[in-house]
A and B are shown apart, each in its own frame.
Chain A
Amino acid sequence: MFLSDRDLSWAIERGGLTVEPRPGSFEPSSIELHLDRIEEAKIWDMTAINEEGATHGLEPNTLLIGKYKFEKFAPKFLKPIPPRSSEEKVFRKNNSVVLKPHGFMLWQTKEAVGSETGDYICFIDGKSTKARAGLIVHLTAPTVYPGWVGNLTLELANLGPFDLILKEDDVLTQITVAKVSSLPAQTPGEAGSVTMKQSSVDTSGDE
């Protein structure tokens, strides 16, 4: 069952649901999330990725997606949004980021959300009004599993005709929250794959 505004407030008060910083207000059955500082807007550093990929015999701009793991890639290959250049689909302009049609970027939410106790499951959702301008805020993975808490990484893409101007504190996304029927037998980590011999980060994802 999804939580109403009253139950969302109560769940945060009780400590089962984490939303930090705490929301100033609630929607009827969701909590709006905000874009973090502009320094938390990132794109993939394709130059660095291609350099490392070449050492593994990969063609430029290719990725072995089946072996790729975001947690290993992100610290090494994400970079801040650069200032404007003619070929970029994403660039920084003063305190804004311009996302041109067909551009793609990542941006952390200001709020860390989730349920440390495992009582609740959260779902990221977009805002319909923003979507109608062509903005996508997450791709395929809306679930914040019980037991995990952290800042959410939004996958922002522009499928519309406009150059979208994005700023810190913009509300582009929201979470809905549901009560889990009973405490999960596994934590998110326990449900993961066994890694016995993973070594350093590499673009081939070889293990």
Chain B
Amino acid sequence: MALPCEIGQGGFSGYRSFQLQLPCISEKYFSSAPYRYCWDEDGHRLPTTPPQRGQFVSGQIAANVLEVYGERNRALVSIPDGERVEVDMAMLQVRPRM
């Protein structure tokens, strides 16, 4: 699966930072991951040139569903920075091709 996010420059060219709006917090979750786990909002591979520092574009980040909480309409997913986060089920999208 994949999650909609905002994608920006990572620490290295092989990485992109991403911001996720999670239901549990008001501020956005911020982290980074190898760019192969990120896509643009149409599901295409990202351009090799990242956005300028501080700029973010709409995109998607890979996610694996670990658990579904049907009663709350939420899911626990793992994301490529090694963390697990709880998201609204409505956020989940079909993962584009790697």
Interface residues of A (CB under 8 A from B): 36-37, 39-40, 42, 69-75, 78, 106, 108, 112, 116, 148-151, 153, 187-201
Are A151's CB and B12's CB within 8 A? yes
Complexed CA–CA distance, A149 and B82 (Å): 13
Q: Given the known A-B contacts A39-B13, A75-B10, A189-B78, are A194 and B84 also in contact in the complex, defined by CB atoms under 8 Å?
A: yes
Q: Which of B61-98 contact A (CB under 8 A)?
A: 64, 66, 76, 78-86, 98
Q: Which of A42, A189, A195, A196 contacts B12 (CB 8 A)?
A: A42
Are A197's CB and B13's CB within 8 A? no
Are A189's CB and B13's CB within 8 A? no
B17 within 8 A of A: yes
Q: Which of A37, A108, A199 contacts B25 (CB 8 A)?
A: A199
18 new A-B contacts at CB < 8 Å, known A151-B13, A190-B78:
A39-B13, A71-B82, A73-B11, A74-B15, A74-B32, A108-B13, A112-B34, A112-B36, A116-B98, A149-B34, A190-B64, A191-B82, A192-B83, A193-B82, A195-B29, A195-B84, A198-B25, A198-B31
Q: Which of B30, B76, B83 contacts A193 (CB 8 A)?
A: B83
* Residues of chain A lying within 8 A (CB to CB) of residue B12: 36, 40, 42, 74, 78, 106, 108, 151, 153
Are A189's CB and B25's CB within 8 A? no
* Residues of chain B lying within 8 A (CB to CB) of residue A72: 30-32
CB-based nearest B residue for A20: B36
Are A71's CB and B34's CB within 8 A? no
Are B13's CB and A78's CB within 8 A? no
Are A71's CB and B78's CB within 8 A? no
Are A71's CB and B84's CB within 8 A? no
Are A195's CB and B85's CB within 8 A? yes
Are A150's CB and B36's CB within 8 A? yes
* Residues of chain A lying within 8 A (CB to CB) of residue B85: 194-196
Are A189's CB and B15's CB within 8 A? no
* Residues of chain B lying within 8 A (CB to CB) of residue A71: 31-33, 81-82
Closest 5 CB pairs of A and B: A74-B11, A189-B78, A150-B34, A151-B14, A199-B27
* Residues of chain A lying within 8 A (CB to CB) of residue B4: none
B44 within 8 A of A: no
